[in-house]
Amino acid sequence: MVRFLPFRKGCLLALLCSWFWAESGHAESTESAASPTALADRVLALEAQLAALQASSQTASDRAFSQPLTDPSQTPSLALVHRGPFALSLSGFVQVDATLYRQDSEDELDGSIGLPLNETRFVIRRARVRVRADSKYVGGLLELDGNTMQGSQVRLMSAELWAQWPAEIGQTPYLRGALGLMKIPFGREVLEQDVERLFLERSHIVRALFPGEYDLGVRLHGGFRFLRYSLAAMNGAPLGDAAFSARDPNQSKDLIGKLSIDAAPASWLTLRAGASFVYGTGFSPGSLASKDVLVFHDDNDDGQVQQSEIQVIRGRAAVPSQNFSRDALGLDAEISARIPILGRLMVSGELIWARNLDRSLYIADPVAVGRDLRELGYYVGVTQELSPYVRAGLRYDFYDPDADAQEQRGPDRVPLATSFSSLTTTLAGYYPGYGKLAIEYQHNRNALGRSAAGIPITLGRDVVLIRGQVRF
C-alpha cells in the first residue's frame, strides 16, 4: 500500500481533472461562460476529497508499519498464479546454513552408530515448496520439504483441507474447520513461520516438546475482533518425534488448544498474548524378557578359562508396554512498537510447564524412570529493526527437562542440575520479500555433562552460523 501510494494519488488527480474538464465542457455547451464562484466551489471540493484520501492513506500506512516483525497467525506470502473459482498460488523458500564454528564438533565417528561427529559443515536446512488453493468457503494446501540434515531427503511437511465461515476480506475467519497434517496450535514459536523467524531456530524447550511443528489431526480455529482461538485433536506423534514420528503408538489422541488476543491499541503499537494447553497420553514400549548370559573375559591373558573370569549377567523379566499421562501449559506474549528513526522494536517471550512431554532432547519415559518427569522452560527475545534492510536480535532461553532430578552424593541425595541454556545474538540483512543473509552466535551451556572422574560439569557448546535464504 505504501509503495504504490504516489501512483494511486496521481491516478486520482487525473480522474478528478478529467471529470472537472468534462463537466466544464458540458456547462459551456449550455451556458456561454462558467461562473467564477462555481469554479471556485469545485476546486475547494476537489481539495477536500484529496485531503481525505491522504489522511486515509496515512492511517493505512501507519497500520501496516505497526505490524510485528513476525506474525504467527499468517502463512508466508503467496504469489498468485491463477484466479477462478479458486485462487491457486505457489510459494517456497530455500535456507542454506554454514556452520563456521561448533565447540563440540569432532573429526571422529560415533562408535555406536558409525555416523560422523563433525558438525562444522554446509547443509540445506530447509527447501520448501507450497501449493495453496483458496476460495471464500473452502481451501487447502500441500507443502513439501527437502533437506540434508541426515542425508538428502524429501518429505511431506503439510497437507491440509479446510472449510470456513469467512469474515471480511483480510480478516481472520470466524470459524475454520481443518483436517490433515498441519500446525500444532500451541504457544508462539510453534506457530511462527520458519521463513519469517529472525533467529535461525526455535528455543530449547519448544524443540524438545514439539520436535516438529506439524501433526496429523483435526482443528477448529478462528477469531472475532481481537480474540483468537484454536482447538485440535491430534495423534501426539508430530514430525520429528524421535521415537514415533508421524506414527501414533496408541489409541489415545492429544487435545491441544490456545486462546489469545491480537490487538492494536494505537497505530504504532500491537499486542499479542495467549495461553495454551496440551493434554494427552504417551507410550512406553516396555522390553522383552531375557535369559541369563555367561560372559568370559581372559583377565590374565593365559588363554585358559578360569572360574573367576566368568561373570553372570542376570536375565530380566518382560516389561509390558504402558501408556502414561502427559500435559503442558504455556503462556506467551509479544509487544511490537514503532521507534522513531530506527523502526520497529519487538519484545517476545514464552513460559512452559510440562509433564512427561519431551519427545526429542531428553525423551520422557516415566514408566522406565519410575516417576513423572517435570519439564520447565522459557525464553525472552528482543528484536530491533535498524532499517528496512537490517534487523538485530538478542534471545535468552532456558530448559530443564527434569526439574525434580536428584542423585546420591555420599550419604546425601542432592538436586541434580539437568538444564540447557543459550544466549543467542543475530544480525540479518534483508532484500525485502526475496532474500536474507544472517549471522548468529549461540552461547550454549549443557549441565548434563560429566568430567573424566564422573563429576557433573557444565559443558560449552558454542556455535557460529551463517544462513542464506531465498524465497519466492
| pLDDT for 150 | 84
Euclidean distance between CA atoms 37 and 115, whole angstroms = 88
| pLDDT for 317 | 79
The string of pLDDT tens digits covering residues 34-91 is: 455 666 666 566 666 666 555 544 444 343 333 333 333 344 444 445 556 778 999 9
Euclidean distance between CA atoms 357 and 190, whole angstroms = 15
pTM exceeds cut of 0.85: no
Q: Which three cell numbers stand for residue 216?
A: 496429523
Least confident of 114-118, 153-157, 158-162, 259-263: 114-118
The string of pLDDT tens digits covering residues 341-391 is: 889 999 999 999 999 999 998 899 999 888 999 999 999 999 999 998 999
Percent of the chain with pLDDT over 90: 54
Q: Which three cell numbers stand for residue 23?
A: 463537466
First to last CA, the chain: 20
Least confident of 62-76, 209-223, 266-280, 314-328: 62-76
Q: Which three cell numbers stand for residue 417?
A: 542440575
Tell me how far CA of residue 312 lies from CA of 55, 287, 305, 307, 315, in angstroms.
87, 20, 14, 11, 9
| pLDDT for 44 | 65
Q: Which three cell numbers stand for residue 188?
A: 508462539
Percent of the chain with pLDDT over 70: 79
